[in-house]
Chains A and B, each alone.
Chain A
Amino acid sequence: MTLFFQQLISGLAIGFVYAGLALALSVVYEGAGVLNFAQGEMATVSAFLAWVLTTRGMTFWLAFPIVLVISFVLGVAVERIFIRPLERASEQELLMVTLALYLGINAIVGWSAGYLQKTLTSPFGSDVWIVHGTFITSQQVGAAAVLVGVLLLVGILFQRTSIGLRIRAAAQNPESSRLLGISVGWMLALGWGIAAVVGAAAGTMAAPTIGLQPDMMGPVLLLAFAAAALGGFGSRVGAVVGGLVIGVASSLAAQYVDLLAGDLNQIVPFAVILVVLLFRPQGLFGRASALRV
């Protein structure tokens, strides 16, 4: 039983990272109708920014908000520069653009920071608590707490503020939004900015655990895709729930299914995607509509 809780805790801890990235994917998907393959790499850039600032002597808690602000600006810029000019492009073309961004950003990070793994020191220290035999680290608790905070703030922003209402409206019905005086283009760009901030938080919080190198977010992105598919693309609640489920499921599968303990653990997200597509293509929280990938 102790083992079970141990796996549950580590599954939840990484699950919040998946949830964050899945939420970022979902926000962009709702607005642009496209899966942003570069979402993980944008988060990698943010994590490296945090590393650069902290190794130059800045305390983490000063660097973190700066990283979030820069990530927001970069997210908006990516939309304005690479997505906006393709306003009338098909989803396939947009998908190609995000794939190109994925490769491009990955190469730039590798070129400027090198491929040797670096360490982002955990801002939460290295305490370990033992609760009824289950090990819990301060990094796990701290990262989860920060990510819960970010997810809640994003939820409030979308559901309770007028700017959030505008972004949702612009994503849902651009023509009608324009007739109500909403500048649709800027609302979609804001969505990219918010997605970048959530991704930055996820990447920066995960970095002390998963290590800092250009490909660090690749596997996370894969699992975030699975999480978004499970929750329903475009559903923010679904993305978060999906992330937690995928995190826990992978962790438990690694413990209890011998075959899935090693590299084969990567099968779990694909199995989830397959099952979801077969039995509930719109995901747990999605509305039935054409699924565009």
Chain B
Amino acid sequence: MSALLEGRAVTAFYGDAPALQDVDFEVNEGEILAVLGPNGAGKTTLLRAISRVVRTRGEIRFRGDSIVRLSADQAARRGIGHVPEGRGTFVDLTVEENLRLGSLARRRADRGRALGDLQAVYQLFPILAEFRGRRAGALSGGQQQMLAIARAVLGRPRLLLLDEPSLGLGPVVVNEVFERLSRIREEWSTTLVVAEQNVRQALRLADRALLMRTGRVALVGATDEVAQDPAVQRAYLGD
């Protein structure tokens, strides 16, 4: 089986400091990959490298084609969705306008289904249907997170990157968001990469996990293996 996404020796700089150093990674079609690690380990940079927000050295292949020369908007139109840190809400637009923007990235073949998909998204997140006419900036943090996910999903991405979807949310809302993510994988046949500091939640959701430390891959494997790793136990799962 060939990987949906493949990175080889990916290096990125943040100013002068290397944020990613020779990172190799693979994401398989249909899986959920958790990207774990402390603050500053390079999780966000890794996602931004994949969606071409930051320039990198090394090679990244998506569905077999090199994407390192693409700009961020081109990568989005190729089918890479990205829910950024901070949710990227268009605060002065309405909820529905935010969602319509999401549909713009989809490929021509998927255009006809946009309306049906919008209804499906409203079923997935009923609160967005209720607030569709509101200014998006007036939503709560959790609602904006759902809006950001819904907006990205409407682009019908083959690969959806999520940066810290649990950040700043209460435990009940976090559970809700993660439950929706696994439904999105099933119902929208999408592959997910989730960068998370909430290791327990992420390991429960994902099939595989990639642990980062100071810009390098420290460990990668199936979630139960990663959960058993002594270092992970000590740092993240110890009681």
Asked if B73 and A182 sit within 8 Å, CB to CB, the answer is yes
- Given A162-B100, A172-B90, are A184 and B73 neighbors across the interface (CB < 8 Å)? yes
Asked if A175 and B92 sit within 8 Å, CB to CB, the answer is no
In the complex, identify which listed stretch (B24-32, B55-63, B76-84, B205-213) lies at the interface while the others stay far away: B76-84
Q: How large is the interface on A (under 10, 10 to 19, 20 to 34, 35 or more residues)?
A: 10 to 19
Which residues, 178 to 212 on A, are CB-close (under 8 Å) to B? 178-184
B contact residues, total (Cβ < 8 Å): 26
Contact with B along A141-169 (1 / 0, CB 8 A): 00000000000000000000010011011
The smallest C-beta distance from A193 to any residue of chain B, in angstroms, reads: 19
Asked if B97 and A180 sit within 8 Å, CB to CB, the answer is no
- Given A165-B97, A165-B100, A172-B93, are A183 and B73 neighbors across the interface (CB < 8 Å)? yes
User: Within 8 Å CB of A166, what residues of B?
Assistant: 101, 104
Asked if B84 and A179 sit within 8 Å, CB to CB, the answer is yes
The smallest C-beta distance from A163 to any residue of chain B, in angstroms, reads: 10
B155 interface residue, CB < 8 Å from A? yes
Q: From DSSP, what is the main secondary structure of chain A's interface residues?
A: helix
B88 interface residue, CB < 8 Å from A? yes
The smallest C-beta distance from A26 to any residue of chain B, in angstroms, reads: 14
The smallest C-beta distance from B133 to any residue of chain A, in angstroms, reads: 13
The smallest C-beta distance from A159 to any residue of chain B, in angstroms, reads: 9
B105 interface residue, CB < 8 Å from A? yes
Asked if B100 and A178 sit within 8 Å, CB to CB, the answer is no
With the chains together, A178 CA to B51 CA distance in Å? 10
B53 interface residue, CB < 8 Å from A? yes
Cβ-defined partner of B90 (8 Å) among A162, A169, A181, A183: A169
The smallest C-beta distance from B198 to any residue of chain A, in angstroms, reads: 22
B71 interface residue, CB < 8 Å from A? yes
The smallest C-beta distance from B81 to any residue of chain A, in angstroms, reads: 8
A176 interface residue, CB < 8 Å from B? yes
A173 interface residue, CB < 8 Å from B? yes
Cβ-defined partner of A180 (8 Å) among B53, B76, B92: B76
Asked if B76 and A287 sit within 8 Å, CB to CB, the answer is no
The smallest C-beta distance from B170 to any residue of chain A, in angstroms, reads: 24
B151 interface residue, CB < 8 Å from A? yes
Asked if A287 and B92 sit within 8 Å, CB to CB, the answer is yes
Asked if A181 and B89 sit within 8 Å, CB to CB, the answer is no
- Given A165-B97, A175-B53, A175-B84, are A180 and B89 neighbors across the interface (CB < 8 Å)? no
User: Within 8 Å CB of A173, what residues of B?
Assistant: 88-91
Asked if A179 and B100 sit within 8 Å, CB to CB, the answer is no
With the chains together, A214 CA to B105 CA distance in Å? 45
User: Within 8 Å CB of B53, what residues of A?
Assistant: 175, 178-179
9 contacting pairs across A/B (C-beta < 8 A) = A165-B97, A172-B90, A172-B91, A173-B89, A173-B91, A178-B76, A179-B73, A179-B152, A181-B155
Q: Which 8 A-B pairs have the closest CB atoms?
A: A176-B88, A181-B105, A181-B76, A178-B72, A181-B77, A179-B82, A178-B73, A183-B73
